[in-house]
A and B are shown apart, each in its own frame.
Chain A
Amino acid sequence: MFVKKKSVWLFLLPGLLLLMVFYVVPLVGGVRYSLTDGSYKNVFVGMANYRSLWKNAMFLTGLRNTMELSLICAPLLWVLSFLLASALMAVKPYGGFARSAVLLPYLAPSSAMLLAWLVLFDFGGPVNRLCVALGFSRVMWLESGALRLPIVLMFLWKNLGFCTIIFLSALQTIPHPLYEYATLEGAGFLRQAVTITLPLVTPSAFLVFVLAWINAFKIFKEVYFIAGAYPDESVYTLQNYMNNMFEKLNYQDVTAAAYSFAVIVMAIFAVLFFAQRRAVRDLS
């Protein structure tokens, strides 16, 4: 039996204070910035900043590109990590080594990784040489809208390992006899996947999907490192916009953009959350 004591607050106080200082206060301060005009008089302007933001072509371009990239990267990552986890389950000799190796890209420093990709996708690099060998013409991978492909590949390469490990741990918790019974009953691979695997890994699958999407929203540093503050329009992300506004110390636009995006993300994940709950119920 646990007895509630008032002294528990003393233990919680340091953490709560830190939470206040590093989360709550900046949050409230950010909201304040987004509702003022940032001039000498710092006048309260209500939603005017948000209204002008949603009419700003570069914000909309950044938002659109961020959503498109996340719609490409997140499902792709989810599917690939599930397939890879399933494959790793089947690898018996050197299985441990394979599982560790798959995590290496996640642990590698981004800047080192980016340099390698720059060399790969350089105009005279191996990828273009392969294109030429296959009869295609060379592509300016790093200079044009074609930068999307290297960005997506980099994202997948970086994050695949971590998501795979999550799926792998979920798959490993599924009792093997279930598959044996299903096989004896005549269930094929697909039937087993739909009736046994998916329902039992749904919470982890949801977690992977959320993580994948969050990481996809954060795609920025690769773009910035390769193409600078003003990349091609097709890879100009929301973070590019916010970064540029931050450099100009335009805190009003930065905070308005950040909170607008936060609302969108919360809405998306709310939908996903309810969908996941329903899926678990239905599959059960």
Chain B
Amino acid sequence: MKRAIALILTLALLLGASCALAAGNVTIARQGKDGFDDYIESMLVFGDRLLLSSYDKLYTWSQEGGLVEIEGYDELRQNDFDTENERTLDLGEAQIELGEGERFYFNGAVYAVDDRLFRSAQIADDDGVVAVLMVEMIVGEDGSLSLGDVYDLGDELTEDYGDGYAGYSDLSRPCSMDGIVYGLVWGDNGQEIAAVDIENEDVDRLTVDWDLSSGSIGSIAPFGDGQLLLIVDDYNGDKPVTDLLVFDPESEETEKLGEMPTIDWETPTALCYDPERGMIYYTLAGSVWRMPLTEEGLGEAEEFADMPVQISNAALLGDLYVTSGFDGVIGRDVTVEKAPEQRLVIEGGSSEMDGAYFSFTEKHPEFMVALRHSGIEEDDVLQAMMGQQSDVDIYCVSSSEQLYSRLLSRGYMAELGGSEKLTAAVDETYPFLQELCFKDGELYAVPLGFYSSAQKISNKLLTEKLGYAQEELPTSWEQVFRVIADLSHGKLEEAPELQILGPGYTRQSVQSSVLYSALSDYFLWLDADEAHVSRASEVLVRLLDAYNEIDWYGLGLPEEYEEDEMWEWNEENILLNYYSLYVDSGWGGVEDEFTPLSIVDGEEPMISADVRLAFVNPFSKHREEAIEYLEMAMDEIEESNLIQMCPNRNDPIESPYYESNLKEIEGTLKDLEEAVAKAEADEDDEALEAAKESLSSYQENYEEFKKYGRWEVSPESIARYREMVPYLVPARSSLWSSEDTYSQVDQFIDGAISAEQLASKLSSTLEAQRLEGN
């Protein structure tokens, strides 16, 4: 009996161990947490360690030593090379000669070839990149960094951006095999694989013998025997298709091994091949998968871990499958027998949901959390709800999508009122947000944040350049159209540099963009109040009549798009621009103030707020845990977003970098003052003038920085934001979002139908839609 009990207990322990989050899983680094505040650009395995590089930092990581920063990497930057005066650069054991006007600087990417480490660099002039270099980096036993040989790859890794400007063609998804670094690049024939033989300073651009016209290579990995594994995605059909291919760089021939599984619109990425186990590992839909490769082809795919970061790179370090992205670096143990039995699936994604992952999995190691960021198809979600499917536990959707209102009206959301924390959090928010979350007094969703935007007209331009008095400034779209009409009938001569929307817009695009902006606000006004529907036609006709007063040909707009004009952007000359309402440091000050536009003269204006909402699937098998996850996600909402959502949160946020940045600016000022003194001493008038100009400009920046740099969210910006909040209206699923509407509007713009006809059509469509019901 005792032996039986002992056996049962042992088995239970083993089972629990295999199901629980495996001991080998590790969070190597997490952006913004535990003092790590960096964005990893590349990652590779170097010996028994992992090397992680950002723009200006290099780290190593091992199970024993943890994450360690390598000193000296941040000194390898452009500013440290005085390329103005020094034509010969000393780089470790090599020297580089620079031509007239040429500059040298390091890139952020690091590559490993056998036991040697390289960092890419560029020599560039005003016409772009002249040459790409690979500079050897030597990491000493004491962790220090020094430079070794320099290899010149010429211009093979450049691409023509047009007008004779050459840019750097970064190696995407790089890997090395047999002394060659392989990476994805774009060439004249589309996507290619660059084979870089650093030591021989040779670059080959290889063409993959596969139809990439409707897809792309997503990931590459060494396969052995001189071959590479490729993941190729094809988006031509209703759903993406992903093939696993073997590519021979010598012959440039390709062989298909099989088709890989996809989930909705998510495709496998971050491929690694484990020759010892004969397995490939990849990430798909927020989970890590493994699939055996046999002589017969691809085996059965098995999900064995979750992956909370958005992937840029992947590597296999012993038993760890490691991925890195902007959010952090995560390692998953490939030896774990199977994934935890219980899982939460979050569809839609948001930074708050991603952030809650770590606290949730720490508290619930028996759970796996799959964070999916693919676009949500409205019909698929509705069908899933109607089929009572429990695959997804939490959805994040936008208030402007029809999906949200349909789900809420049909009751396809779990009640959240049982959670005091969630109820308290929503009660703290503005009423217009609460309206979206409550139905019949019951809480069904929580707001995570919102994005608001409105079109603004430059009052400064109107008053200073066109002589408008304050009381003449437009406050409605009808008045804006009258202003543009005046401009088109001759007033533009008073300010010929004025542009309606900015450079690069043709007459046709300005005509439609301006109308669509006004109509967007019109639809928002319609949705905001049922009482507006009875006046819909009359208001629209007045608006369109004002629009018809504009002589678009009189505005001197180009008939064809001119690319060069895009570089002549000067915000001071632009009449209409988009404005986002948010709290910030306040930098920009008075010039950034604007008057929102109403649809009807004399009525309150409206600013659209596209709210991001999260709710729990009522059919979820882990409803309690999903609600708990939401509670943790609320803790991840940034303070600036909370200030925007909650009227009683008014504490400004200081910048943690203020002191360090101030010190750096003061150091630069001191250098500039010394440069002025030196120029005076040398009696070099030209240098003195240049130095004084730089000093003066920098001093202005310094004063502005002292004023605004202290804040991430300043008290003034909070005050200004609070004044605008009454105008915020949640963007709901507009009843007008249909192809018919856009077709009719285009007919009006083309003059095929009149304002009355358009208003009549839109009104009858609206009426029919409202009478049909949801």
Binding site for B on A (CB under 8 A): 38-42, 56-58, 143, 228-230, 232-233, 236, 241, 244-245, 248-251, 253
Contacts and interface: CB of A to CB of B under 8 A. Distances in A.
B681 interface: no
A40 B411 contact: yes
A264 B386 CA distance: 29
Given A58-B768, A143-B753, 9 more contacts: A38-B410, A40-B618, A42-B388, A143-B761, A228-B739, A230-B740, A230-B765, A249-B382, A250-B773
Contact of B412 (A40, A230, A233, A245): A40
Contact of A248 (B383, B764, B774): B774
A39 B412 contact: yes
Residue of A39, A241, A251 with most partner-chain B CB within 10 A: A39
A57 B772 CA distance: 8
B406 interface: yes
B771 interface: yes
Contact of A40 (B385, B740, B771, B774): B385
Contact of A228 (B618, B740, B771): B740
Interface string B735-774: 0001110010000000001000100010011001101111
The 5 closest A-B pairs by CB, nearest first: A228-B740, A39-B411, A40-B411, A230-B765, A58-B771
6 contacts: A40-B410, A40-B619, A229-B740, A230-B738, A236-B768, A250-B773
Contact of B772 (A41, A56, A249, A251): A56
Contacts of B410: 38-40
Contacts of B739: 228
Contacts of B743: 228
Residue of A232, A241, A244, A248 with most partner-chain B CB within 10 A: A248
Contacts of A232: 764
Contacts of A250: 773-774
A236 B740 CA distance: 15
Contact of A57 (B406, B413, B738, B771): B771
Residue of B383, B413, B743, B774 with most partner-chain A CB within 10 A: B774
B379 interface: yes
Contacts of A42: 388
A58 B411 contact: no
B658 to A, nearest CB: 50
Contacts of B771: 56-58
Given A39-B412, A40-B411, A230-B765, A245 B382 contact: no
Residue of B411, B412, B753 with most partner-chain A CB within 10 A: B411
Q: Is the interface of B mostly helix, strand, loop or mixed?
A: helix
Contact of B386 (A41, A230, A245, A249): A249
A233 B379 CA distance: 28
B314 to A, nearest CB: 39
A39 B753 CA distance: 42
Contacts of B383: 249
Contact of B768 (A40, A143, A230, A245): A230
Nearest to A43: B411
Nearest to A57: B771
Nearest to A41: B411
Contacts of A39: 410-412
A248 B772 CA distance: 11
B427 to A, nearest CB: 24
B772 A244 contact: yes
Nearest to A245: B772
A49 to B, nearest CB: 11
B386 A38 contact: yes
Interface in B380-403: 382-383, 385-386, 388
B773 A56 contact: yes
Contacts of A143: 753, 757, 761
A156 B771 CA distance: 32
Interface string B605-635: 0000000000000110000000000000000
Given A228-B740, A233-B764, A241-B772, A251 B386 contact: yes
B403 to A, nearest CB: 10
B71 to A, nearest CB: 58
Nearest to B412: A40
Nearest to B740: A228
B377 to A, nearest CB: 12
Interface in B700-753: 738-740, 743, 753
A87 B204 CA distance: 78
B388 to A, nearest CB: 8
A232 B768 CA distance: 10
Contacts of A245: 772
Nearest to A59: B772
A58 B764 contact: no
Contacts of B388: 42
Contacts of B406: 248-249
A64 to B, nearest CB: 14
B764 A230 contact: yes
A244 B382 CA distance: 15
A40 B444 CA distance: 13
A91 B738 CA distance: 52
B765 A249 contact: no
A14 B619 CA distance: 37
Nearest to B752: A123
A248 B412 CA distance: 15
A230 B774 contact: no
B383 to A, nearest CB: 7
A229 B618 CA distance: 32
A56 B382 CA distance: 23
B249 to A, nearest CB: 49
Contacts of A229: 738, 740
Nearest to B618: A40
Contacts of B412: 39-40
A253 B774 CA distance: 10
Nearest to A240: B768
B623 to A, nearest CB: 12
Interface string B397-433: 0000000001000111100000000000000000000
Contacts of A251: 386
A244 B618 CA distance: 26
Contacts of B379: 249
Contact of B769 (A38, A56, A228, A230): A230
Nearest to A39: B411
Interface in B576-594: none
A175 B180 CA distance: 92
Contacts of A244: 772
Contacts of A41: 411
A233 B767 CA distance: 10
A245 B769 CA distance: 10
Nearest to B773: A56
